[in-house]
Structure 1
């Protein structure tokens, strides 16, 4: 999950912005540190050549230097971030080879559901994409807010219950990557990881055909079981029964996930508060 080893154009642009921003800030930090050490050395007590100006009050040239350099730095740093963020608008399509792959992403407690509506399949905690193809992701959440992030492919983006966000990516090299949740969402958050398999465009139809033979069927009933809070250690696959399932999730026709449930141990636990202080 090294963001400095990008495997796609969006991640490469993110890495460039990060490196440029660090370089701009170092252009101020390093000279400042050097100046502090130089001033401390020159104006040491044993240096009789150091001058002392007890009546000094104001210098226009000095004020110009003190204020212009930080102002120019902020303008330059802000310009890099502003231009880069607009160029990397998540909704802007990304060029690629072959047909775009449409993927619908649902963040669950505590797992990721990937729906391929055009291929009529779905997977949990495993995302498989063809190399070079434009990836058109639609994202929502089954319950709490979350953040979808594949560090080596591109920008992180929020998933929110009752809303749909969009993200366009592309993977330029075959291989296995790692995705994660970048927003705390409860006890199972540390295990909310997913695999990303970037395969050849020729192998992608074979993977779709093999996944379509899965004995599991994803419909409203099986989806509701997935929304229950649990950590999925496997990588189950499904045949998609209803291609409109994602729309039903995003429009809340299917209720949000149930969230944590009270147990007898919760009810028996003593309550603490002002009234219990003795």
Structure 2
């Protein structure tokens, strides 16, 4: 026959197991955690920063949780208990140094690591490379992503392609409610906001198709606002650009206005787009807050038209 203590232990174990299962289910641990599978230098540094921060926090959290369980079990009320009763005990210098000193040291270490990581991972900072970066202009629409290649003169919807080992300068804005541009395996997200031109530098270190999505709730069809980021060889990229130029229609200004209407979209390609379309989208909301793309740059492009 089981004792009351056995029942309590069984309930405690069942509750702990349920919490662990819920934690795994809600954090996606049962699926492929692509954030921890980086394919570019920025994502690698961000993963390392997350792991280091988690380990440093665990240095405090894990012992506290273990000690909590040990103390609850060790000092539980039971028959025959003969522990000393010290109602006036209230201070121990040694213990105070331990449980205040260790967390303070860890917080300082976390602060130093975070500051260094924040500076190193500043999204508008160009990546160090001997290869010329490729510029891709990104516009968040309801509920789709428009990618423009100003150097190649082509555009695409819900699909972006670029060469591996080539730095990418994403210039990001929105012609819709604020969203967040995110390719988890290449780097952290960057907000896309109307009237603003944000800059994000990323790079893919190997070929592959990576998931990209909007990371902000933007209305009815926001769940369909995902895209494929395809890293290929330089030859495959050049061939794709050539195919788009020869087999796809051009995006006109009227076509863009139609595209910007709230609706989900399949993958689409365009052999050309109106010159200065990205800059017109930024300036039409008359904002003076640009990050990485100055008004001087925008006005210069418009004057060249």
TM range (shorter): 0.7 to 0.9
The separation in 2 between residues aligned to 1:58 and 1:203, in whole angstroms, is 70
Paired position in structure 2 for 1:176: 209
After superposition, give the CA deviation of every residue in 1:175-199 in whole Å (9 maximum; x if it has no partner): 1111000000000100000011111
Moved more, 147-156 or 198-207: 198-207
Query: What's the CA shift for 1:151?
Result: 0.4
Task: Specify the alignment match of 1:91 in structure 2.
Answer: 124
1:247 matched to which residue of 2?
Answer: 279
Q: Distance in 1 between matches of 2:92 and 2:248?
A: 80
- Residue among 25, 33, 38 paired with 1:6: 38
TM-score if structure 2 supplies the norm length? 0.78
For structure 1, which runs of at least 5 residues remain unmatched after alignment? 255-278
RMSD of the alignment, in Å?
A: 1.9
Partner residue, 2:146: 113
CA distance in 2, matches of 1:138, 1:57: 59
| Structure 1 residues 149 and 241: alpha-carbon distance in aligned structure 2, compared to 1, 3 A threshold | closer
TM-score, normalised to structure 1, is 0.85
The offset of 1:55, in angstroms, is: 1.2
Alignment of 1:204 with 2:237, yes or no, is yes
Work out which of the residue numbers 160, 182, 199 in structure 2 matches 1:127: 160
Mapped partners of 1:34, 1:64: distance in 2: 19
For residues 212-246 of structure 1, what are the alpha-carbon distances to aligned partners after superposition, in whole Å with 9 as ceiling and x for unaligned?
124421232111111100010x2111122433111
In structure 2, stretches of 5+ residues that fail to align are 1-32, 287-305
Q: For 2:169 and 2:84, how far apart are their aligned partners in 1? A: 66
Greater shift, 121-130 or 18-27, is seen at 18-27
Q: Secondary structure at the match of 2:258?
A: helix
Contact 2:34 2:184 in 1 (8 A): yes
Shift of the alpha carbon at 1:29? 1.2
Counterpart-to-counterpart distance in 1, 2:34 and 2:118: 21
TM superposition shift of 1:62: 3.0
SS in 2 for 1:106: strand
Distance across 1 between alignment mates of 2:260 and 2:90: 68
Q: What's the CA shift for 1:121?
A: 0.3
1:39 is the counterpart of 2:83: no
Matched residue of 1:94: which SS? coil
Q: CA deviation at 1:253?
A: 7.2
Contact 2:194-2:285 at 8 Å conserved across structures = no
Identify if the C-alpha distance between structure 1 residues 253 and 48 changes in structure 2 by more than 3 Å, giving closer, same or farther: closer
Within 1, Cα distance between the matches of 2:118 and 2:141?
28
Q: Distance in 1 between matches of 2:234 and 2:121?
A: 25
Match 1:222 to one of 255, 278, 283: 255
